[in-house]
Chains A and B, each alone.
Chain A
Amino acid sequence: MSETLKVTVERPDAAVAVLRTDGYINNAGGEEIARQAYALMGGGVNRLLLDLEKTKIVNSIGISILIEILEKILDSGGRLAFCRLTPTIEKTFQIMGLAQYARIFAASEPAVAWLRGESD
Chain B
Amino acid sequence: MRGSSPLPSPPSPGCAGRAISGGGRPGIADVLGAHARLAASEAPLDEVLAALLAGAGAGRGLAVDPLHPGRPVHRGLSPDEFLVSRLRSHFVETGTSAQGLPDGLARELLGREGDPRVIPLTARDETLALVLIDRPPADPAGFASVTAHAASILGVVRMSDRIARTDFELKYRVWELQSVYDVGLSIAGTLDLESLADEILVKSISLLNARNGTLVVRTATSEAGSVLVKSFGAPLAGAEVLDAIPESTLRWSRGEVRPGFLAAAPAETLLCAPIVADGRPLGLIVVADKENRAGGVDDFTAGDERLLSLFGNQAAIALENARLHREAVEKERMEREIELAASIQKAILPASLPAVPGMVLAGGNRPTRQVGGDYFDVFPLSDGRTAFCVADVAGKGVPAALLVSTVHAGLRILFDTGLADLPEVVGRLQRHLLGFSATRKFVTLFLALFDPLARKVRYVNAGHNPGVRLASGDASLLPSGGPPIGILPHAEFREASVPFLPGDTLVLYTDGITEAVNTSDEEFGMDRLVALVRESDGVSPAMVSGRIFEAVKDFTRGVAQYDDQTVLVARAC
Interface residues of A (CB under 8 A from B): 1, 3, 24, 26-28, 31, 56-61, 64, 88, 91-92, 95-97
Contacts and interface: CB of A to CB of B under 8 A. Distances in A.
Nearest to B209: A59
B397 to A, nearest CB: 45
B498 interface: no
Contacts of A97: 167, 171
Interface residues of B, number: 25
B234 A3 contact: yes
Nearest to B40: A75
B16 interface: no
Contacts of B174: 95
Nearest to B203: A88
Interface stretch (B150-158, B287-295, B357-365, B470-478): B287-295
A3 B211 contact: yes
B291 A27 contact: yes
A23 to B, nearest CB: 10
A28 B294 CA distance: 10
Contacts of A96: 168, 171-172, 175
Nearest to B169: A60
A3 B178 CA distance: 24
16 contacts: A3-B211, A26-B211, A26-B291, A57-B202, A57-B206, A59-B205, A59-B207, A59-B291, A60-B168, A60-B172, A61-B209, A61-B291, A88-B203, A92-B175, A95-B178, A97-B171
A91 B293 CA distance: 23
A61 B212 CA distance: 15
Nearest to B178: A95
Contacts of B211: 3, 26
B558 interface: no
Contact of B205 (A27, A28, A57, A95): A57
A64 B293 contact: yes
A95 B199 CA distance: 18
Given A3-B233, A96-B171, A56 B209 contact: no
Nearest to B210: A59
Nearest to A1: B232
Contacts of A64: 168, 293
A27 B207 contact: no
A26 B182 CA distance: 21
A56 B171 contact: no
Contacts of A59: 205-207, 209-210, 291
B312 to A, nearest CB: 19
A87 B295 CA distance: 28
Nearest to A25: B206
Contacts of A3: 211-212, 232-234
B175 A95 contact: yes
Contacts of A1: 232
Contact of A57 (B172, B178, B232): B232
Nearest to A93: B175
Contacts of B207: 59-60
A118 B212 CA distance: 41
Contacts of B210: 59
- Going nearest first, the 10 A-B pairs with the smallest beta carbon separation are A3-B233, A59-B209, A27-B291, A95-B175, A96-B171, A59-B206, A57-B202, A95-B174, A57-B206, A60-B172
B72 to A, nearest CB: 22
A92 B175 CA distance: 6
A91 B178 CA distance: 9
A56 B202 CA distance: 8
A29 B234 CA distance: 16
A64 B295 CA distance: 13
B168 A27 contact: no
Contacts of B175: 60, 92, 95-96
B232 A58 contact: no
A112 B295 CA distance: 32
Interface string B381-401: 000000000000000000000
Interface in B144-174: 167-168, 171-172, 174
Contact of B293 (A58, A61, A88, A95): A61
B208 to A, nearest CB: 8
B206 A95 contact: no
B109 to A, nearest CB: 31
Interface in B452-469: none
B295 A28 contact: yes
A83 B361 CA distance: 84
Contacts of A60: 168, 172, 175, 207, 209
B383 to A, nearest CB: 80
